[in-house]
Structure 1
Amino acid sequence: MRVQTEEWQRFIPGVRMYKGKKTLFYNGEALFDENIGQYLIYDRKERETWEVIIVLPGVEVIPFHNFEWCSSLNRVIMADSVRILGNRCFQGCSRLVFVKLSRNLECIVDGAFYNCALTSIFIPPTCHAVGPQAFQGCYKLIILSVPQHTRLGVNVITRTKLLEASPFETLYSEHYPYLRQEADQWIKNINGRDEEEYALHRACLFFTPLEDTIHAIVKRQGLNSFDKPNSIGITPSQYLKENPNTEIKEQKIINQYILDMMGEIVF
């Protein structure tokens, strides 16, 4: 009965302790007034105590500057109703390391995660645009899953580990127009497009990885393929562990591989 009560309470807006973390259950209301430049409902001192934000079903837009400077925030989980992340909505959340985006997200507006602590972000196939500076200053960011059709704005990965690992010394706005196509293609094709060598990397970096596909590749390439680094030093195992959209376990794939091999030997 207690479990049922907890699940029911998840859909009640407001701030409360949930699984040991101070959590805001967000229902879409504006928390910042851009006309007067002031926070609404919750003051800055209160905002600085939030550790988790859960965006409730039905919310479609995270407004302008809504959660900026929430200095204790480390996890954000969005319902699949969210379509738009507004301008600098999570700016300056300096401890934010985990974000699970909506599967129906359409647009990430300018500076949405400016100066956060993200190490990875997986953008859904529904997203058509990522605005300028969306992840600028996320100095730990090294894994960025971006669909081929998604348009990237300027300075998206400026001051990140991903840029440091890239062949580009800088992607500041004054240089970006000359490098735009080359940089965008590099970001989207770190693991190539068709090469067998990085097939497992691509499968594990996909927004929603397919277990059958991963298993088929491992069967072709062997178990060591999980530990093969790509050009920026990331392995398929790391991609799979960082991906918040899957419950696929590497060990399960390994166990199935061993069983398959044993079966081939027996028969």
Structure 2
Amino acid sequence: MIPRDTFRWCMNVKVVIMADTVKEIEEWAFHNCYSLEFVRLSRNLEGIASSVFSECRSLTSIFIPSSCRLIEHFAFKGCKKLIILNVPQHCQLGVQVVSDTALIAASSFETTSAGGAGLYYENEEVNTWIKNMNQNEEYALHRACSSFNPITEIVSEIVKRDGLQSFKKENEIGITPAKYLEENPFADVDQVAIVKKYILEMMGEIM
């Protein structure tokens, strides 16, 4: 467990690589870590308490492991640069998990300003939208690249089917599969190798 307030106001922390023994993060553990840019969560994480990463204003992406069952309210509130949040379907989300973030700003949900925090009221709709971000078949490569455990063979097959341009296709919030791979701390997929393989296979078919 990472106890309540452990790194609160540690404004020089830039990188967090969490041991896989961590199962719970308590309230406010990383609140106001303004310089925090990169987080690799525990592979066995089960819960993120309220306001854990709130006001981490440099954080751009977070990938939630499949073991996580609960993210409580305001967990990422005020993470103004946070645009990527990949959450497993079974994970329960609290109230206003992503209020005042780049992600909610990129959505179609109406927001209003109150006390400097962008608040939104369609909470269940927002949470459903977050978890179903890339579920349409046209975003199959986005889904594969943003998953907790991207598999090279699956990524390669989708690229073979849809072409190299699929790596640059933007989803509804403007994120490409290539960007997901770049940001995903759990990814061990060599995009260059996949591109080379695709080109060689296409050349073989032409010949």
Give the Cα–Cα distance (whole angstroms) in 2 for the partners of residues 175 and 161 of structure 1. 13
Q: Distance in 2 between matches of 1:208 and 1:181?
A: 27
* Map of 1:196 onto structure 2: 137
Please point out which of 119, 123, 126 is paired with 1:183. 126
Aligned to 1:49: none
2:187 is aligned to: 246
Distance of aligned partners of 1:175 and 1:162 in 2 relative to their CA distance in 1, 3 Å threshold: closer
| TM-score (norm: length of structure 2) | 0.93
CA distance 1:97–1:262, change in 2 (3 Å): same
Q: How many residue pairs are counted as aligned between the two chains?
A: 202
Aligned residue among 43, 50, 61 for 1:120: 61
Please say which structure displays the higher CA radius of gyration: 1
Give the equivalent residue in structure 1 for 2:100. 159
- Write the mapping of 1:68-87 to structure 2, written as runs, cut at 5 A: 68-87=8-27
Q: Which amino acid aligns with 1:115?
A: E
**Structure 1 segment 1-267 matched on structure 2, within 5 A:** 61-116=1-56, 117-170=58-111, 176=121, 179-191=122-134, 193=135, 195-266=136-207
Instruction: Tell which deviates more after alignment, 246-255 or 148-157.
Output: 246-255
**What SS class does the counterpart of residue 62 from structure 1 fall into?**
coil
CA apart distance, 1:260: 1.8
Amino acid at match of 1:258: I
Kept in 1, the 8 Å contact 2:150–2:188? The answer is no
Separation in structure 1 between the aligned mates of residue 27 and residue 176 of structure 2, nearest angstrom: 33
Residue 175 (structure 1) shift: 5.8
Q: Is the 8 A contact 1:123 1:207 kept in 2?
A: yes
- Decide whether the 8 Å contact of 1:97 with 1:118 is kept in 2: yes
Gaps of 5+ in 2: none
Instruction: Write the distance in 1 (CA, Å) between the matches of 2:204 and 2:42.
Output: 40
CA separation of 1:148/1:87 partners in 2, compared to 1, >3 Å: closer, same or farther? same
Letter in 2 for 1:249: D
TM-score of the superposition, structure 1-length normalised? 0.73
- Alpha-carbon deviation of 1:262? 2.3
Q: Report if aligned partners of 1:155, 1:173 keep a CA contact under 8 Å in 2.
A: no
Shift of 1:174: 8.5
Q: Deviations over 1:240-262 (max 9, x none)?
A: 10001122121111011112222
Shift of 1:127: 0.3
| Cα distance in 2 for residues equivalent to 1:161 and 1:174 | 13
Question: How much has 1:170 moved relative to structure 2?
Answer: 2.9
The 3-state SS of whatever aligns with 2:198 is helix
Q: CA RMSD in A?
A: 1.6
Cα distance in 1 between the residues matched to 2:162 and 2:118: 41
Distance 1:175 1:75 in 2: 29
In the TM superposition, residue 180 of structure 1 has moved relative to its aligned partner by 2.9
Which secondary structure state, in structure 2, belongs to the residue aligned with residue 121 of structure 1? strand
